[in-house]
Structure formats: C-alpha cells, structure tokens
Amino acid sequence: MDTILVVNAGSSSVKFQVFAVVDRRTLRCLIKGQVDGIGTRPRLRAAGADKSPLIDRAYDAAQIGNGAAAMQVAGTWLRDVAQLEPIAIGHRVVHGGPNYQGPALIDDTVLSNLDRCIPLAPLHQPNNLAPIRAIRARSPEIPQVACFDTAFHRTHSRLADHYAIPERLHAEGVRRYGFHGLSYEYVAARLAQIAPNIAQGRVIIAHLGSGASMCALAAGRSVESTMGFTALDGLPMGTRPGQLDPGVVLYLLEQKKMSAAAVSSFLYQQCGLKGLSGISNDVRELQASKDPSAAFALDFFAYRIALHAGLLAAALGGLDAFVFTAGIGENSPAVRMRVALLLSWLGADIDPAANAVNAQVISRPTTAVPLYVVPTDEELMIARHTLSILDKTTSDSRTPAMSNQGAA
C-alpha cells in the first residue's frame, strides 16, 4: 500500500499524519500523531483513523531536544513498528517568499531559497525546515514536498500586495504575503461542496487559533488577508499582538533600550491574549476565568475580528458569507457569539442554539449573511499537494521515454 507522510513541525511539537493513497485522487488517513514537549517533556503519541491509540511513550528531554530528533523518533516508529515506508513526504512550510506560488519538490536550490525566508518567519521557518534536513540526511531517496502557507495568497492584486514604501524594497520581497493559506485553500474547497453558490460569491474566512488571521475570497480566490509581511500582522493572537503601530517598535528600541532580539521575542511570545490578560494565551482558560482582564482580552479579540471584517468586506465590495475555522473558530461558541453580534451591521444573525452545538450553519434562515463553521484540515491539503507533485514528477520523467518510443 502506497502512503504519504505529512509533517507539520513547530517549535515545541512535530505533528504528523499518514495517508493511504487509495487511488490517484483519493487519500485516506491511517495514522495521526505528534511528538510534543520537545526539549522539556517529550512524548510520542499516535492513533489510528478510528482514534484507537497506537503508541503513547514518554522520553527524556535529552533524547528529543529538537525537531530533527523528534522526526527521527517518529520516523523510526513509523518504519519499524507501524511498518510504513512512505512514497513521499509533504511538509508545511510557513513562508515561501515571492518565489513560490504553489508546492515545490525540495532540492538544494529550494532549501536555500527557504533559508532566506527565515527572517520573515523566525518563529516558524527554522522548525519547518529542520525535519526536512533530517529526512534528507537519513533517507535522501524519498521525495519531499514543501507546501507553503503563503502560496494561496499569491493571487492578490498589486494594490493588495504592496506597502507604501519605495519600490526597491518591494522588489527585494518586502510585501504583503498573507498566511494560513493551506487552511484557507482547504476550507474554500469544502465550502464549494457545502454551499457552491455561496462559495462563488464574496466570503470571509476567519482562521482563529493560537495563530489567527482572516482572508477575503472572491469566487474561491484570495484577494486580501489580514496578515502581511510576517505572521505578526492583523488580528491579535495567542502570544502575538497583531496590527501594531511601527512606532511602538521604535519606542521599544529607542526608549526601552531593547535589543532587536528582545523585541522579536516580545512580539512573538509575550503579547496577544497572553499579554492582554496577564493570565494565558489559551482561550479555554480565559473563558473559564472570572478575572476581568480575561474577559477584556476576549472582547478585544472579537472587536479586532469585527474591525478587520469591515476592512475585508470593503475589499470584496460586500459580503455573502462568513466562515469560522481552526481551533477557536471551530470549538468556541462564546467567541463566535461575540464576533457575530459585532457583525450584525453587515447582516449576520446568529442562531444561539445552532452555535451552541457547533453546527455547520450557525445563522438563522432569514440572515442576510450566513455564518458557517467549517473544520479545516491542513494536513489533508498538504497530502493532496504532495501527491499532485509526485504524479507530475513521475509524468515528466516518463514523457521523454514515451516520445522516443513514438519516434522509433
């Protein structure tokens, strides 16, 4: 049985899924797992498609001190115990820079280009690339495919793509990229199945998780996003501030005498819901807290989502539907209620009963702007892209041979 391994590597965890290639158009999830607590309390856990546990094993911190070590442990288990040898491996890579408008088969040139994007995504990119290098060193014969969070947004117009800065900087790559593209691409495809007429219209998708952003789609294509040059922009997130006056950064550098490294750490790890509440970056903890600062953080989160919804609706020239997705968007009725009430001026009318049970449609039948909850699946999207690249590579390699035979 042919399988594809999907790797989604972060700073403290490496998530993975194994998909069976049923045919060249159909993929079926076999195994879903992760190595978390990297460097502190590492643990390998995996379950089958029916959620039955396959492994739950703890390790010493020294055994799994980084993402490469985590991938090696997971890979050894997949090969020796699960007896799986994937035909290809797909990776989530946050930043593709200006060069990549779709997935890419990884070689030395691609890897070098992605290294140059590290300053644009310092929290994510090094962790995304570490397992790629580890696998190349151990099993160089296995094709690996990079799937980019930025690629879906390369359909933006020049107006949406630019900052008001000298053109020479834009030419160097200082531009608005947008992120969470793999999630938006999957949700857009699902919406086309759920509500095809709506999907051909003007839609805002809110990817609300520890990292959060929103995307405006016209006929399924990204036309604007709340994130820009880096994953710091736009909505407030778990530990990131979102939209911020650049003067604040200058203040931290000049008046607070913070180093560039300290400012980077501050912006990526100490702001957002965590900074506002002083309690936690976890929405579940904030919802359970009676501290007024927790409620303020959640109100601020919803307020900024509503403000950016107005911006995106302006980019679209109106709005036909609003979609919630990702961890918070899919699982927090309280956050959805906060947001929906602030969107009533656009015509949204939430159904509290449907919202409470995470229904697919959470608006009333008479609403002018339907509200949807559509679970995302970035890993399946990566697997699809990986299979597509693999098929293309195989087809390209066969073409000369077939032409020669025809000429003979």
In angstroms, the CA 272 to CA 71 distance is: 30
Residue 149 known to be catalytic? yes
Taking alpha carbons only, the member of 119, 196, 113, 180 closest to residue 148 is 180
- Residues 6 or more apart whose CB falls under 8 angstroms from that of 59 comprise 42, 43, 44, 73
3-class secondary structure, 322: strand
> Taking a C-beta distance cutoff of 8 angstroms, is the pair 128, 75 a contact?
no
Helices in 241-342 by DSSP H: which ranges?
A: 246-254, 260-269, 272-277, 283-288, 292-316, 326-331, 333-342
Structure tokens at 376: 């995302």
For the chain, the maximum distance between any two Cα atoms, rounded to a whole number of angstroms, is: 80
3-class secondary structure, 121: coil
Sheet with 43-48, side-by-side order of all strands:
53-58, 43-48, 26-36, 13-23, 3-9, 88-93, 144-148, 104-105
> Taking a C-beta distance cutoff of 8 angstroms, is the pair 229, 267 a contact?
no
Phi first, then psi: give them for residue 231, nearest 5 degrees. -85, 20
* Count of CB atoms situated within 10 Å of the CB of 292: 9
In angstroms, the CA 209 to CA 227 distance is: 14
For 116, which DSSP code? T
Check 149, 161, 233, 320 and give the catalytic one.
Answer: 149
Residues recognised as catalytic: 149
